[in-house]
């Protein structure tokens, strides 16, 4: 039986098809895009699906916590949104948005210093962390959150997000993010 010879150009044509198939498979792993306060979050992180499934430890956190802040410790704005999501592999997300009173687009494009504490109200930011590294958005590495439901009465906030964040010289790319969070 003669050996089949594959031409390099033919192989190159199939590579994009394989990557597109992988991306579609990863998207299927994300939670549904809902707006009912389901306490879900997921995203594609550097091409791989990430879905909140809870923290670790003696009293582990819920997979997704947060939403509209129950107390107003900052006098500059109201209706601030703070969302934390955890996975058992000790990776996670944080999203903070100021003054979310209606659906719309909220940029993640200012520098916020989480290490050492903020002296004043934080700016909008997106963060992704793995053990030993905190990737943050800033004025150079940016993103956005599109709020699709902003229900300040029932304390439900839902939306989609994408951002690029940095830790030192390392970057992370987050796409196809979605969250649906109930009360804080």
Distances in Å between the Cα of 118 and the Cα atoms of 75, 121, 128 are 14, 7, 18
- Cβ within 8 Å of residue 171, ≥6 positions away: 135, 141, 164, 165
In the DSSP assignment, the letter for residue 62 is P
pLDDT at 90 over 50: yes
Q: Which stretch of 81-85, 88-92, 111-115, 167-171 has the lowest confidence by average pLDDT?
A: 111-115
Question: Would you state the pLDDT for residue 73?
Answer: 58
pLDDT at 9 over 50: no
114 within 8 A of 134, measured Cβ to Cβ: yes
Look at 21 and 148; give whichever has higher pLDDT.
148
Hey, CA dihedral for 119, 106, 40, 23, is it positive or negative? negative
Residues in the chain: 184
Rg for the chain, CA atoms, rounded: 19
Mean residue pLDDT of the chain comes to: 83
- Between the two ends of the chain, the Cα-to-Cα distance in Å is 67
Residue 42 has pLDDT above 80, yes or no: yes
CA dihedral 158, 159, 163, 168 (to 10 degrees): 0
Span 134-162, average pLDDT? 95
Residue 176 CB-half CA count within 13 A: 20
- Of 184, 86, 90, 166, give the one whose Cα is nearest residue 126: 166
Write out pLDDT tens, residues 103-137.
999 999 987 776 655 546 678 999 999 999 999 99
Average pLDDT over residues 10-30: 61
Reported confidence tier of residue 18, pLDDT bands at 50, 70, 90: very low
């Amino acid at each position: 039986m003669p050996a089949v010879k594959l031409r390099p150009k033919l192989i190159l044509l199939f590579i994009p098809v394989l990557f597109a198939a992988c991306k579609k498979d990863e998207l299927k792993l994300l939670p549904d895009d809902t707006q009912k306060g389901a306490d879900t979050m997921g995203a594609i992180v550097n091409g791989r699906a990430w879905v909140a499934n809870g923290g670790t430890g003696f009293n582990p956190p819920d997979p997704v916590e947060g939403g509209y802040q129950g107390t107003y410790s900052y006098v500059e704005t109201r209706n601030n949104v703070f969302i934390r999501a955890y996975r058992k592999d000790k990776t996670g997300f944080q999203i903070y948005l100021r003054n979310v009173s209606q659906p719309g687009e909220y940029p993640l494009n200012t520098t916020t210093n989480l290490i050492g504490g903020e002296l004043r109200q934080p700016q909008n930011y997106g963060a992704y962390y793995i053990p030993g590294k905190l990737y943050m958005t800033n004025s150079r590495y940016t993103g956005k959150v599109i709020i699709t439901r902003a229900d300040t009465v029932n304390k439900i906030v839902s939306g989609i997000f994408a951002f690029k964040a940095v830790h030192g010289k390392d970057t992370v790319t987050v796409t196809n993010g979605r969250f649906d969070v109930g009360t804080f």
